[in-house]
Amino acid sequence: MAKETLTFTDLNHLVEHLRSRKKNTLIFAHNGTGKTRLSMAFKEAGKKGGKDKRDTLYFNAFTEDLFTWDNDLYHDVERGLVFNRESHFFDGLDGADMENRIRPFLQRYADFDFSINYEKARVSFKREVKTVKKPTKKQPEPVETTKIVDNIKVSRGEENIFIWCFFLAVAQMAIDGHENYQWVKYLYIDDPISSLDDNNAIAVASHLAQLLKNQNNIDAIISTHHGLFFNVMHNELKRAEKYYMCKGRKEEEIQLMDTRDTPFFHHVSFMQSLQKAATTGELYTYHFNILRNILEKTAAFHGFNDFRDCIKRSKDDVDGIIHARMINILSHGNYSLFEPVEMQEENKEHFRRILKDFTDTYRFNQDLFQETETEEI
């Protein structure tokens, strides 16, 4: 059975749809399809009542930009994270005891502690460090001691996870109906784990799902390009609406495909986008990157040493020239998604041949590639 696809003429119409649903919504979308722009459009739609009116607490790349690392280059002593108090995001911090709200979240992921100076809008970090004194004649056994090192420099990944935990603490206040955040009607979360490994991605998804599924006060929209994160959230949020978002055929057009009760694995969405591009002829050089990514994962799954083992050499390519050409294209291409260049006709044919041979050899559910039902919104 083909899955229903909703088509919207632009982002604003999609925002209207999401706001009308009054449910948690989970969206998988590739980079470059408008995820972050959608989050900003959603936030702006909540300000229609006036400049100071708002109803959305959001997390995206711009939220991370509210925090700036200061290395204290002059004194090299007071290193820390400075946050922009001009943003409404921080309006409800006064008297909220944020340290004790953030710590339960942060302790799941990190081994450092912190303190907040609200007047300076600054976060300082510290870590407990263990040292072992070597045995001596007077002390034949090694002695372990600990000390607190203040004003440490945390890594970029640790910085990002702290900002995420800061957001979670604020989101928890909104969900609990804290007086400083009673204006929040929606949470919009766009790619909270851009710099995390798979293990932390699973943890972040599980913890976020626990925060959301046991409450009915606030609706959440979560968008991501991370397949593993999406799948964990998909399985945890049973009642949420789940979609795959992509560009439509017309300019500014956006489509949502209902993923129903099956987690929408990112390699499947890749295959659908490649199949569509091959069919329409709208093939760009970055499609080679996507195809190679799938070939590499397939090779690893089947125990091959290299993705080349998944590229079939045709019987009429006796001297192997065409096969070598296809390998060369996939091996040396590092094509940008954000500066797309259309393939030359010869390379389009090579691409279609590789894709067809691959799908003939490694069978996918053909229903995935059938024309979907389309409902015009």
Q: pLDDT averaged over the chain?
A: 82
pLDDT of residue 205: 87
pLDDT at position 1 over 80 = no
Give the Cα separation of 152 and 128 in Å (integer).
Answer: 10
Cα separation values, 276 from 312, 343, 357, 359, Å: 21, 15, 16, 14
Half-sphere exposure of 53 (CA within 13 A, CB side): 7
pLDDT tens column, 202-223:
788 888 999 998 888 899 999 9
φ, ψ dihedrals at 108, nearest 5°: -70, -25
pLDDT of residue 125: 95
Segments making up each domain of the chain, as ranges? 1-55+185-260, 67-159, 266-376
pLDDT tens column, 61-83:
888 889 999 987 676 678 899 99
Cα separation values, 252 from 79, 127, 233, 286, Å: 44, 49, 28, 21
Lowest mean pLDDT, pick from 92-101, 301-310, 362-371: 362-371
pLDDT tens column, 342-360:
888 888 888 888 888 888 8
pLDDT at position 335 over 70 = no
pLDDT tens column, 110-126:
889 999 998 899 999 99
Cβ partners under 8 Å of residue 299, min gap 6: 305, 306, 307, 309, 310
pLDDT at position 14 over 90 = yes
Q: Are strands 241-247 and 25-29 parallel, antiparallel or unpaired?
A: parallel
Residue 201: pLDDT band with limits 50, 70, 90: confident
Tokens standing for residue 374: 């389309």
Query: Average pLDDT of 38-66?
Result: 84
CB 219 within 8 A of CB 22: yes
* Architecture in CATH for domain 1-55+185-260: 3-Layer(aba) Sandwich (3.40)
Global pTM reads: 0.68
